[in-house]
Amino acid sequence: MGAEVVVEGLTKSFGRQTIWRDVTLTLPPGEVSVMLGPSGTGKSVFLKSMIGLLKPDRGRCVINGVDIVSCSEHKLYEVRKLFGVLFQDGALFGSMNLYDNVAFPLREHTKKSETEIKRIVLEKMEMVGLTGAEKKLPGEISGGMRKRAGLARALVLDPEIILCDEPDSGLDPVRTAYLSQLLIDLNAQIDATILIVTHNINLARTVPDNLGMLFRRELIMFGPREVLLTSEEPVVEQFLNGRRLGPIGMSEEKDVATMAAEQELADAGHHDGSTEDVRGVVPQLQPTPGLPERQGVRRRKDRVMSILHTLPPAAQEGIIESLTPEDQHRYNVRPHMFATVPAGHRPSPSPRDRITGDLGVAQVPQTQWRPPAPGEGGGV
């Protein structure tokens, strides 16, 4: 199972410019998480801070009991072996063929024989669909193939945590769909903890177990995918729908006067070029038939059901509607038992609540869920 990543109060600045501050979240072990945010909000900086390539100003990032912000260089080197990183451009060596690119971490960080290296490299290349392309140079293949080669290289040390920095950049929608399926299939096979930074809304809606969003130098929210996909937070709605109307501007956040003027135009019937509202929970991508079930799915369901009463009503409804008949029996819950709370009666979440996902809304009656008794249902 992948490692848990606990981030507490992480803050990063370059000179006087604060990139983000007081970021607090937990990446659950073996689950797939996505971080969204407009360009320039420091998503890639966050990934680099997680693996110690950049040193945060303050805060903690704890992996297997080691705080990589304050640990020694030796400890950091050891912890980094837990990570596999897929960079935006694949970061392949142009003078090496794909086989040697994928083999590089094994030759650099292990004492394995060339026979063992060959077995591992061919296995990982097969996992990402690159069998037969071992002798090709990065300049001779498509962008999608370079991404997959970069992913194979990220996998050769059997990482517990995989970080993907905009894996869809430069790819057409079809290749992005293939890559999304590949990441889900990999999670099913190796049960690694995965964090994906992306702008791609379709990927963000269909792939992850958990979703977060960075904006205005803060983590707006992070938690179960249903919370963000049903959120009424203006910046989230604007981003998910690709609208001009909202807090996000071309180069920076908009001031109150600009937003008021835009709202007047919208009220007058001026169309901002956006498509229909995509807010709502859609089915999550499943592993390719024939692969094992994702172990993180059961752990996630147990975790989410245990905090169900703390989530907004729309998120609760999305979660309950997604339950299979077996899930309904396991958690002693029925769709008709869902009790909605009118939007006007929902208390406003505090900034801390938005970060932790404990939104403090009206609770669902506790009879809707109980922890499974020993021997009931599947394991965690």
In a domain, 380, yes or no: no
Same domain, 363 and 255: no
Provide the CATH number for the domain around residue 116: 3.40.50.300
Please count the structural domains in the chain.
3
Same domain, 216 and 237: no
Same domain, 86 and 197: yes
Q: Which helix (H) or strand (E) holds 186?
A: helix 173-190
Domain membership of residue 45 as a residue range: 5-220
Same domain, 103 and 207: yes
Same domain, 21 and 151: yes
**Domain end call among 220, 246, 277:** 220
Same domain, 215 and 104: yes
Nearest to 41 by CA among 214, 237, 201, 167: 214
DSSP one-letter string for 138-172: GGGS-HHHHHHHHHHHHHTT--SEEEEESTTTT--
In whole angstroms, give the CA distance from residue 47 to residue 218.
15
**Domain end call among 164, 198, 220:** 220
**Domain end call among 220, 244, 259:** 220
In a domain, 208, yes or no: yes
Same domain, 118 and 146: yes
The answer to whether the predicted template modeling score (pTM) of the entire model surpasses 0.95 is: no
In a domain, 272, yes or no: no
Tokens for 207? Answer: 């792939």
Same domain, 73 and 184: yes
In a domain, 248, yes or no: yes
In whole angstroms, give the CA distance from residue 318 to residue 321.
5
Same domain, 240 and 181: no
In a domain, 359, yes or no: yes
Same domain, 28 and 163: yes
Same domain, 203 and 349: no
Three-state SS for 252?
Answer: coil
Same domain, 179 and 236: no
In a domain, 14, yes or no: yes
In a domain, 347, yes or no: yes
In whole angstroms, give the CA distance from residue 379 to residue 339.
28
For the chain, percent helix, then strand, then coil, each to nearest 5? 40, 15, 45
Nearest to 146 by CA among 156, 160, 155, 136: 136
In a domain, 198, yes or no: yes
One digit per residue, the tens of pLDDT, for the chain of length 380 reads: 889 999 999 999 999 999 999 999 999 999 999 999 888 888 999 999 999 899 999 999 999 999 999 999 999 999 999 999 998 776 899 999 999 999 999 999 899 999 999 999 999 999 999 999 999 999 999 888 899 999 999 999 999 999 999 988 888 888 899 999 999 999 999 999 999 999 888 999 999 999 999 988 899 999 999 999 999 888 888 888 888 877 887 555 545 555 455 455 445 554 455 555 666 788 999 999 999 999 999 999 999 999 999 999 999 999 998 888 999 999 988 655 554 444 444 444 444 343 344 333 333 333 233 444 444 443 32
